[in-house]
Amino acid sequence: MNLTHLLPVLLLAGGTPRPPLTCTVSPRVIEAGAFYNGASVRIQGTAAYGSKVIVTIAGRDGAERFGRKAQIGPIWLNAGKVRISGAPSLFLRFSPAPVTSLLSQDAIVRQRLDEKSLMARIRIEPPSADYRDDVATRNSYLALRKGEGTYSFGNRGIVMGDAGQCASYALDLRWPKLAPPMIYEVRVYEVVQGAVARETSADLSVVRTGFPAWLAGMAANRASLYGVVSVLIGALAGFGIDRLTTLLFRRKRFIPH
């Protein structure tokens, strides 16, 4: 065996100190202003020579109301609202190859890196007498989050490289515009020989700025005034669209009677 193949073994065996597992996020703060439409984010760093990395981005768990699905014969119908909790507000996973080729299924479940283990965290209240209804509700919730881009389980995206005596990695992603303002955790898993050897993390913040921040503050502190302002904004928006249409087409929009 040549030195190239021996180097990962020596690094892991303690023959040479392993390079630090690092993670840099740029930008660290995403500003959601009046014309916010998502953002470009880059995550990069270094890991042990010969290793791979898996990156996840997760928001804090929350609770929300969601429509329950119930089966009546062969048909699934909406059956009222339930309270869903235990699910992160956002969960994105990236890797340089299929996760199942990097980790065992037990390790994937232990680190909660797949859809099944993430959905197992969800609590539905009140629970249904028929477990199939709760399964359908979880599946509908997952489909909704994946459709809006706040849940993703990608098996690609990370580019691994050689940085001398360590490995380098880089990930470029488009931040979903529907991700709510909060502090998110970027977590990096260093994978060596089918197991997670080390982990590190960094924060990524999304904050409202300008008019959206002012409007959110009003909604939280002055609800009655917020209602009035919302009606005015809707009316002005309608007037603006009507005026723009008139300028573009030299006539009023046709409104059928």
Q: Give 84-124 pLDDT, tens digit per residue.
A: 999 999 999 999 999 999 999 999 999 999 999 988 888 99
So where are the chain's domains? 19-208, 222-249
- Cα 186 from chain centroid (whole Å): 10
Q: Which helix (H) or strand (E) holds 139?
A: helix 131-148
- What is the residue whose two structure tokens read 């979880």? 138
CA separation for the pair 256, 89 (Å, rounded)? 42
**217 phi/psi in degrees, rounded to 5:** -65, -40
CA separation for the pair 84, 77 (Å, rounded)? 18
pLDDT score at 68: 73
Where does residue 22 rank: exposed (0-12), middle (13-18), buried (19+ CB within 10 A)? middle
Exposure on the CB side of residue 214, measured as CA atoms within 13 A: 7
Domain formed by 19-208, architecture = Sandwich (2.60)
**pLDDT tens across 14-43, in order?**
556 778 999 999 999 999 877 788 899 999
CA separation for the pair 142, 54 (Å, rounded)? 21
Residues of the chain with pLDDT under 70: 1-16, 69-79, 210-257
pLDDT score at 77: 61
pLDDT score at 91: 96
Closest CA relative to residue 53, chosen from 201, 190, 250: 190
Phi-psi region of 164 (alpha: psi -120 to 50; beta: other; left: phi over 0): left
pLDDT score at 98: 94
